[in-house]
Structures are given as structure tokens and as C-alpha cells.
Amino acid sequence: MAEPRGDPHRTTGSTLLHPLSALLGIPLDQINFVACQLFALLAAFWFRICLGPGHASSAVRHAFATLFGIYFAVFCFGWYSIHLFVLVMMNYGIMNIASIPNIHRYSFVVAMGYLTLCHISRIYIFHYGILTTDFSGPLMIITQKITTLACQLHDGIGRQAEELTAEQNRLAVKTRPSLLEYLSYLLNFMSIIAGPCSNYKDYIAFIEGRHVHMKLLEVNWKQKGYDRLPDPSPTGAVMYKLCITLVSLVLFLTLTKNFPVTYIIDNEFLEKTSFLSRLGYLYVVTQAAKPKYYFAWMLADAVNNAAGYGFSGVDERGVFRWDLLSNLNIWNIETATSFKMYIENWNIQTAAWLKRVCYDRAPWYPTALTFILSALWHGIYPGYYFTFLTGILITLAARAVRNNCRHYFLASVPLKVAYDVVTWAVTQLAVCYTVAPFVMLAVEPAIKFYKSMYFHMHILSILVLLVLPVRPQAHSVRRPQNQVMQNSVKNKDK
């Protein structure tokens, strides 16, 4: 893998914090990222308290969120932030000019096309030695939001309610947004730097002060002894997430740098270690690589919650939940007993985006197309495609094993525990095996890695698919628009 080039303290954005970067020995682009997110956290508290729906109009809240978001983008990425604004305005034109039957197609092609061109340019600009936090990250989030809004606008105006799934019907947008609403949704300071992607209707409800109220109305509070609706505060959730953020930062500064993933393809390491030792070290370096993602996503979630955004309702114990925008569930990730469970709890909002714009709408091979779109969205580095193509194979094999074998182990508690232990170990190692090329980026180290692992997961997955019958999934969930009546007739005939 090529080493990063140039000054470790370089950045495409502001150099105001260069002295702090030099003092701490941390790249300036990372310092700018953290500084913006911490400032956004403070601004979010102020936004909720002083510019809440009871103190300011929706227009003022939209304008503040947009202007601060633009400032953060320019501070972090300098003139490269113009890519964000160009893509936003191009798609605003499409949204207002394109016909409703095609609005989601045109928006998708333009947004993904522009993102891909920027990904290509990064190879020539940064030559694999990419900055940890460059302009492509916000561009990827904006691409998600543009395509999400376009699909939901198409659902709301261009399709009949009976053609939609329950989720599509709930999220459908019935009118085109104004320019201010559009800019606020895409460029607000809470998500411009690290996301996550959210649904347009949820965001507008938050700005207009309906966000929490709508969720609370889903519960019968009189039965719980309340005379009026409670007023849930996000402070506890924010503090909890900031604690996890702090722990993740400490782990990143200690573990991550001491266990580099490139060591698993070091010639001396490969010559001296056995296959099982390589598997063990692979698990360790993968664990060591996670804290930076935990840090960024938890901090982004805390920022949104501090502003009063992200309330998802009340759980069965009556506890207020602030996980509407959460991007990961650490416990479920670390205890996942299936590849599917792991994926569903990692980068949750991106998985939701892929489901809404691709999986639920793909006429053929939804799993394969979703993995391909995910790879294309992440970038054009070959390592990404090694990861996602391998992911397709392992997902299909894991599904076949689960469908054909799991029920045999549910008869007794010891069998179930044994099954869970084995599937946990296999899942964790399968994920490590799959994502290693994602970090390595280039072709040569990815192939070298898989050779050192004897392509064992590829071989096992192919054997599973050849031996075990693969049960086709129900297609009506993904394509309700042409099959609602057909499914109704089929169900009556059964």
C-alpha cells in the first residue's frame, strides 16, 4: 500500500489550528474535523435552547443551520467545498425541472456521477495517500440525501399510495421543498461534516418543532399516569454518547497506531506466523481499526441529539430513545452471530439509504446491486470492490447456512448456545476477512492478503452455495408497486 505523501500537517481547509496540530502531532485535517464537530456540539445546544421552535421561526432555524453548515465546510475543506455547493445546486435544478416520473433517476445519475468523478480526481490529487477527512466525506452524505429526497418525492407525487410499502408511504414527500428548506436539509451544520443521512420529512418536522411531539403521540400517556405529554431531554443521551466518543478517541490514539493493518501482509510476518496466528492478528487489527469510526459516528449522533434531533420514541420500559440517527450499535456489532446482523448494525444510516434507494427498488438481483452501489458510493479504489464482491458471496453463503441449518440447533439451550458461539466466531472472522482490502485500497496488497489466507472464505462460501439449497426470497417486499394486487390474489388462492 502506498504511503501518504507530503506534509503530515497539510489540509485543504483552514490553517488556523496548525500550531495545535504541530503541538499534538496530529494531522491538521483531523484537528479541523474534531474542532468543527466540537463547535457544532456547542452550537447545537445553543440552537435547541435559544433558537428552539418556541423562540424562532422555521425560516430563522433553517437559515442558521444552513449558514453555519456552509462555514464549517469552508473551514474544513477550503475551496474544495465548492464541490458540495455545485452538486447541491445542480440537483436543485433537476428537482424543479425534471418530470416527477424521472426525478429520482436523473437525481441519482447526476449525484452518483458527480461523486464518482470526484472520487476519480482524488486518486490523481492524493495518489492513495488520501487525507483522513477530505471533501469526499460530506459529498457522500449529500449524495445520500439528494437521492433519498428524490426517491421520496417521486413516491409522494408520482406514485399511488397502494403502490408503496408502509415505510415508503410514511416517508413520501408530497410537495417540492423551497430553496431554503432544500439547502438546510443538505447543508445544515449538524450533519455537513460527518452526517448522518436522515429523511427529509423527519428533518422538516424537527425544524418546525413537530419531531418529538409526533413520536410522543404514538404512546397512550394517560395509561402511564401522565396528565400531559412529557418533555424528553436529550442531555442524558448526549452525555452517554460523548463518553463513548471519549473512550473511542483514547483507543484510537493508543491501539490503532500500534496495530497497523498493513502488518498482516508484511513478508517477515507471513514467513514467521502460522495460518491460525494470522487469523488471530487479523481479528486484533480489525478491532483496533474500529475506534475511529465509533468516535466519528458517536460524536455526529451527539451533535444532532444536542440540537434536539434524533428522538425515536419510547421503548418497552418507558425509556426515551434518541437513536433515530444512530449510525451503529456497538453491542450488536461485537456480539453479532450472522453477517447480516453485523451489517445491519454497522453504518446503519448508510444501510438504510441503500435499502431505500436500491434494494427496495431493484427489479433484479437486489443483494448484488446493493453491494455494487455501496462500493461505487465509497469510491473507486480497487480494495473497496474486493470487499463488496466478497461480501456478496459471504452474505449469500451465510444466508444459505442459516436457512438450512439453524432450526436444528433450537431444540435445546446447550445446542443453541453452541450454535451462537460458533456463528459468532465465524461471523467476526468473516467480517475481518472481508474488510481487510477495504483498508488496503490497492490491488496488490489485497491479493497478497487473500493469498496469505488461502482464499479460505471464498472457497468455503462457494462450497456452501454448491451444496446447500438456496431459498429464493420473497420479491413482493422489494417490488410492491406492481405486485400488491397479485400478492393479494395469490394469498387468497393459498
Contacts of 392 (CB under 8 A, 6+ apart): 367, 368, 371
Closest CA to 307 of 39, 41, 34, 70: 41
Catalytic-residue membership of 347: yes
Q: CA-to-CA distance for 32 and 77, rounded, in angstroms? A: 9
50, burial (CB in 10 Å: exposed 0-12, middle 13-18, buried 19+): exposed
Angle (CA) 345 350 354, round 5°:
110
User: What phi, psi does 352 have (nearest 5°)?
Assistant: -65, -40
Task: Give CA separation, 464 vs 182, 359, 429, 452, in Å.
Answer: 48, 24, 17, 22
CA distance linking residue 274 with residue 265, whole number of Å = 13
Active-site hit among 83, 188, 378, 456: 378
Q: How far apart, in whole angstroms, are the C-alpha atoms of residue 411 and residue 389?
A: 35
* Alpha-helical segments (H) within 355-412: 366-378, 382-405
Q: Spot the catalytic one: 96, 327, 347, 404.
A: 347
The maximal CA–CA distance of the chain, rounded, in angstroms, is: 74
Tell me the angle at which helices 82-97 and 179-187 cross, rounded to the nearest 10 degrees: 140
Tell me the C-alpha to C-alpha distance, in Å, between residue 208 and each of 52, 60, 146, 232, 368. Answer: 9, 11, 21, 17, 39
3-state helix, strand, coil in the chain (%, to 5): 70, 0, 30
Backbone CA torsion sign across 439, 440, 442, 447:
negative
- State phi, psi for 80 to the nearest 5 degrees: -65, -20
Q: Does 378 qualify as catalytic in the annotation?
A: yes
Q: Which residue has the cell 424521472?
A: 102
Q: Is 259 exposed, middle or buried (0-12, 13-18, 19+ CB in 10 A)?
A: middle
Nearest-CA neighbor of 354 among 197, 204, 200? 197
The catalytic residues are 347, 378
